[in-house]
Structure 1
Amino acid sequence: MEGKAWNFRANKAIDGSKLGIRTYIDILRSNIDHSDGRSVIPLSHGDPSPFPSFRTDPSAVDAVSEALRSANFNSYSSTTGLPLARKAIAEYISHDLSYKISPDDVYLTAGCAQAIEILISVLAFPGANILLPRPGYPIYDCRASFAGLEVRYFDLLPEKDWEVDLDAVESLADDKTVALVVINPGNPCGTVWSRQHLQKIAETARKLGTLVIADEVYERFAFGRNPFVSMAEYAEIVPMIKLGAISKLWFVPGWRLGWMVTLDPLHIIKDSGLLGSLENFLNMTTDPVTFIQGAIPDIIGNTKEDFFSSKLNLVRECAEICYEEIKKIPCLNCPSKPQGSMFAMVKLNLSLLEDIGDDMDFCCKLAKEESVFILPGRAVGMENWVRITFAVELESLIEGFARLNDFAQRHTKK
């Protein structure tokens, strides 16, 4: 029966957006040889929570259980988050700063990913552009593309421990540049920038008149020569919005509790109208789960420092093993030893390999032949590189590199 043509169709803005990390992992999963009796070793994404060594602290589980059983958190939340949760997070962030954060500056989100979605949506206006790091975290690219916000990439420099190419930042920016995104500790590079470099970034952004988005979801994941210093220390220089979450430090990404913190001592964000737009957008979006919000004061207050220090020591040991094992494989080169987060960026020397076309081919064949997942570098903006996640069970990490070494030897040109 013929009739009027259907009015709905594919959304080209979505279909044309950059692929997210989960899409690449699905591609790798589709290459698995199911006749291989070995378990898959996931060195491709930053979620160590399934591994016994990275289980969250029992006090955090108790806090969630008690909040749920109390029946005090079954109602809707306010759009900015429950006051007791905002207060607890403000105090938590303030602990490592030289000044105090106000709870009124904290906005709760369903994970750090939703915070990114909200910010990109609010910042997007016709003709605007945003400066993103390359390599970087692809959700920024995906959301910007969908929102119609032009992306301009500045390089992180592997020969300088992945510092920001500040000259490139200045050359890329114009009067329509709305924000500069910095991720520290670094995903995907495993960097922790020095206090001096952070100040230079802030001064450059001030010179350009652009907001800084400080993605610090891996804060405190610093185990190298540089201690973690929050960009929040430079809010007097440039207005910024700090992003964070409990997902990484407590190893609970599925709990979906993140935050945005406006750092605006000179009221630049407020006077621009951006703060009002941010709050209006929050009225149109979903809230984080209320019983997780309700548990936050006890999650933060009852988790002992021993939990964090023991997990950081484990991540440090994994990072050391990762770096040393990479050096044993001739076709791989890690230009900068990981200093933080859960990742290392590794350059492929394809000239040493046969039957490997590029980073995607390398990762798909590795998945098929060895049941090991690593992320192709194109997922984070760097073709013919790979990103390796080292925050996994030690035994799995060692076995994963043994298989990776076997794969590399098998494909080495004779």
Structure 2
Amino acid sequence: MSLPPVKTRERLSEVRYEIRGELARRARELEAQGRRLIKLNIGNPGAFGFRAPEHLQRAIADRISDTDPYTHQQGLPAAREAIAAFHKQRGTPNASPERVFVGNGVSELIDLSLRALLNPGDEVLLPSPDYPLWSAATILNDGRPVYYRCLPENGFLPDPDEIASLISSRTRAIVLINPNNPTGAAYPRELLEKIVAIAQRHKLLLMCDEIYDSILYGDAQFTPIAPIAGDLPCLSFGGLSKVHRACGWRVGWAVLSGDPVASGNLHHAMDLLGALRLCANVPGQFAIEAALHGEDTIAPLCAPGGRLFEARRAVIESVAQSSHLQLVAPAGALYAFPAVTGAAANGFDDHRFALELLETEDVLVVPGSSFNVPYRNHFRVTLLPQPDDLREVFRRIERLLDRYAQSESGAQAAVA
């Protein structure tokens, strides 16, 4: 007798995460066949030869005998003190260890904080493009994503007037990703001040994903939002995964700032949800103080001659030499978000392109529409490979786009 299939949650049908989705599964199949792929779908430094800094590794090794027990649901006291001190240096109001939450990466804390905040039907303003976990976590916690556009012609920066126009009686929070994934945009202070003013006017929570805060190129600057927000409740997210190249350690944190009375209910809700999962990974928490108050190991990688800077340069120069691509140069983070233009863009579908690039050129990228944008002519690559590898990637991309353009030219000639 055959058993009926196990039913799953219906809202999962609304969730997309192509970064590790169908294309990534096809890539694993091709690798099992012996194909050697260049995979640019995930910002995973360890997969490209980066290592977590040695002083962070030592901090864990020296305390490994202390990592067996559960710790407090909000994190190790010393780790939370280090995070609070770091945020005080930035000017974050009311930063204290009691208002710091350590989680299994920022991903867990995004989900946990939205679960603490949302009732069914509540709305969250999200950037488009966004990091798709934000959309997924909003949907799976019975909220509704409402997208404000970050258009390429505006350098992928949002329009505060559009943000204000999208606010309804159900809006609970405005989400910012700064520096942005997937575009690399870094938000100037004047723009952040306008968004804070909107949130203050409507009494909305600010949620700022700042996981790439120290990954900046050229004269780009990072401006934290919590000091601008003042007494307005704000959650600022950070972690070890990107700046400190320790993704597998799963160490992230959220700092709740602003008026403690106004944010008291949210604090208690997050504390309850943190307690239900007992605690976050303990060993990695012993590296937090060394990461935030020790040697700066990311700045040399982002400066001229540094590996990330030169990888970014390789992408920018490759796009400049292309007949089919345009790029808003990323100011920060670990990604570029090129656009396909001209004849190659006629009838272009980013998912079909990504699959053909994988099948014919052994390169895995993420379709741009996976980041919740309405257009389908972008794709995302990570800047983590060696610069020469990225130049080779764009030679292969150009070959495929040449074929697209030639096919389109042939079709037009046939019509004529």
Normalised to the residue count of structure 2, the TM-score between the two structures is 0.90
Q: In structure 1, how many angstroms separate the alpha carbons of the residues matched to 2:255 and 2:278?
A: 18
Aligned to 2:161: 167
On the 8 A contact 1:90/1:101 being kept in 2, the answer is yes
- CA deviations over 1:272-320 (Å, ceiling 9, x no partner): x22221211112125221121133333444x422x22222223222212
Among 296, 307, 310, the alignment partner of 1:317 is 310
Deviation at residue 17 of structure 1 after TM alignment = 2.2
| Corresponding letter in the other structure for 2:47 | P
On the 8 A contact 2:160/2:191 being kept in 1, the answer is no
Q: In structure 1, how many angstroms separate the alpha carbons of the residues matched to 2:33 and 2:66?
A: 50
| Corresponding letter in the other structure for 2:41 | S
- CA deviations over 1:85-141 (Å, ceiling 9, x no partner): 111122233334376731112110000000111011112202311111100010111
- SS at 2:337 equivalent: strand
After superposition, residues 3-402 of structure 1 pair within 5 angstroms as: 8-29=6-27, 32=30, 39-52=36-49, 54-68=50-64, 71-97=65-91, 101-236=95-230, 238-265=232-259, 267-270=261-264, 273-301=265-293, 303-305=294-296, 307-313=297-303, 314-334=307-327, 336-349=328-341, 351-352=343-344, 357-382=348-373, 383-402=376-395
Q: In structure 1, how many angstroms separate the alpha carbons of the residues matched to 2:396 and 2:58?
A: 39
On the 8 A contact 2:127/2:148 being kept in 1, the answer is yes
On the 8 A contact 2:18/2:370 being kept in 1, the answer is yes
Deviation at residue 349 of structure 1 after TM alignment = 2.6
Structure 2, gaps ≥5 residues long: 410-416
- CA deviations over 1:3-33 (Å, ceiling 9, x no partner): xx86952221223323352115425516748
Deviation at residue 357 of structure 1 after TM alignment = 4.5
Structure 1, gaps ≥5 residues long: none
Q: CA distance change for structure 1 residues 34 and 7 in 2, over 3 Å: closer, same or farther?
A: closer
> Which one is further off, 146-155 or 91-100?
91-100
Q: CA distance change for structure 1 residues 405 and 100 in 2, over 3 Å: closer, same or farther?
A: same
**How many pairs does the alignment contain?**
402
Q: In structure 2, how many angstroms separate the alpha carbons of the residues matched to 1:202 and 1:73?
A: 40
Deviation at residue 207 of structure 1 after TM alignment = 1.6
Deviation at residue 384 of structure 1 after TM alignment = 2.3
On the 8 A contact 2:335/2:380 being kept in 1, the answer is yes
- SS at 1:274 equivalent: helix
Q: In structure 2, how many angstroms separate the alpha carbons of the residues matched to 1:284 and 1:171?
A: 38
- SS at 1:412 equivalent: helix
- CA deviations over 1:117-168 (Å, ceiling 9, x no partner): 1011112202311111100010111111122101111101222211112222
Normalised to the residue count of structure 1, the TM-score between the two structures is 0.90
Deviation at residue 34 of structure 1 after TM alignment = 6.9
- SS at 1:154 equivalent: strand
Q: In structure 2, how many angstroms separate the alpha carbons of the residues matched to 1:168 and 1:367?
A: 37
On the 8 A contact 1:348/1:359 being kept in 2, the answer is no
On the 8 A contact 1:329/1:408 being kept in 2, the answer is no
Percent of residue pairs identical: 25
Q: In structure 1, how many angstroms separate the alpha carbons of the residues matched to 2:218 and 2:157?
A: 15
On the 8 A contact 1:31/1:364 being kept in 2, the answer is no
- CA deviations over 1:203-233 (Å, ceiling 9, x no partner): 1111222111011000111224331110112
Q: In structure 1, how many angstroms separate the alpha carbons of the residues matched to 2:314 and 2:17?
A: 30
Q: CA distance change for structure 1 residues 323 and 31 in 2, over 3 Å: closer, same or farther?
A: farther
Q: In structure 2, how many angstroms separate the alpha carbons of the residues matched to 1:156 and 1:385?
A: 13
Q: In structure 1, how many angstroms separate the alpha carbons of the residues matched to 2:93 and 2:116?
A: 28
Deviation at residue 261 of structure 1 after TM alignment = 0.3
Q: In structure 1, how many angstroms separate the alpha carbons of the residues matched to 2:110 and 2:18?
A: 14
Deviation at residue 405 of structure 1 after TM alignment = 2.1
Q: In structure 1, how many angstroms separate the alpha carbons of the residues matched to 2:320 and 2:26?
A: 24
Higher relative contact order (CA 8 A, sep 6+): 1
- SS at 1:164 equivalent: coil
Give the root-mean-square deviation of aligned CA atoms: 2.4
Aligned to 2:412: none
| Corresponding letter in the other structure for 1:311 | L
